Amino acid sequence: MSEKKAAKLVASLTALPPEGTALARSGPSLRTPSQPVRRAQAGTTEAAWVRYTLITIALLFVLLFLVLPLAAVFTEALRKGFGAYLAALQEPDAWSAIQLTLIAAVIAVPLNLVFGVAAAWAIAKYEFRGKSFLTTLVDLPFSVSPVVAGLMYVLLFGAQGWFGPWLQAHDIKIIFAVPGIVLATVFVTFPFIARELIPLMQAQGNDEEQAAIVLGATGWQTFWHVTLPNIKWGLIYGVILCNARAMGEFGAVSVVSGHIRGQTNTLPLHVEILYNEYQSVAAFAVASLLAILALVTLAIKSVAEWRHEAEMKAAAALPPERPQVLAAVR
């Protein structure tokens, strides 16, 4: 074969047809490199009307089921002016409900924090008999109605319950008192922190903890200096969700509280009583506190996510041989 024919053969094998021709569209192997790049930048191959329809449906859903109800709460709460709004929040029964809600949350969240970290550590880091059973127990409050949870405590600690006679003999009151409210709140909120940490700790594995132990670190040193920094953002997410659920819980608390005004009513229960008494302005004023709590929770969660993403980007930008620079910058 002559050099001229060889050159023509190489040119015919390496040349690509121009973009837009039938041959260029006949198969993925003959497409120009710019086509997949443009599709990746577009993010989807769906038609424009499909994307706009989905976005419109999502926005309408958010508007109808989130924004409008939230606006209605504040509109009704301020219908008679800001003075009536403040007067509803300054009532003794309202203050008692606020204090009891805070007490239940202050007790329940730390207890669930300890349990959630311990359960997540055991499930994610160790293999043992009954591991699947423990995981099922963690998920139990998600599958049991809060009302049923409240009834379980009534059957255990009520006057006619299993431990009722003994509690009465020792003048200990749990049901229709603050301890019962705290127990019900702890039950319905304890999965949140554990469920936030378990997949995170399973994804991280045991390599860093084992390396720390090999280097002579104790169990507490390994937890404080290795495990906790790796799970801190997941822990913050779980605490935020747990606190929001503890303050907004209604079903289980309603069963064990007894609805005693000024004594065993939390904020959700106080809203129900005011609304049933046709005090709509006062009811929506107290409900607005729960709405504000939801907005604050969302803001804190968004800030935590932003900080987490910023730290991940900063860690990814560091050279592999100098990971300690990020800790020094913090």
pLDDT tens digits along 118-162: 999 889 888 888 888 888 888 889 888 899 999 999 999 988 889
CA distance 69 to 80: 19
pLDDT of the residue at 127: 85
CA distance 147 to 252: 5
pLDDT of the residue at 4: 54
Q: What is the pLDDT of residues 205-226, one digit of tens each?
A: 888 888 888 888 888 888 888 8
Q: Considering only the C-alpha atoms of the chain, give the largest distance between any 2 of them, rounded to a whole number of Å.
A: 111
Look at 11 and 86; give whichever has higher pLDDT: 86
330: exposed, middle or buried (C-beta count within 10 Å: 0-12, 13-18, 19+)?
A: exposed
Least confident of 8-12, 72-76, 79-83, 183-187: 8-12
Q: For residue 197, give the nearest of 116, 111, 138, 122 by alpha carbon.
A: 116
Q: For residue 72, give the nearest of 307, 319, 302, 281 by alpha carbon.
A: 281
CA distance 185 to 191: 12
Q: What is the pLDDT of residues 41-73, one digit of tens each?
A: 555 577 888 888 999 999 999 999 988 988 999
Q: What is the pLDDT of residues 251-273, one digit of tens each?
A: 899 999 988 888 889 999 999 99
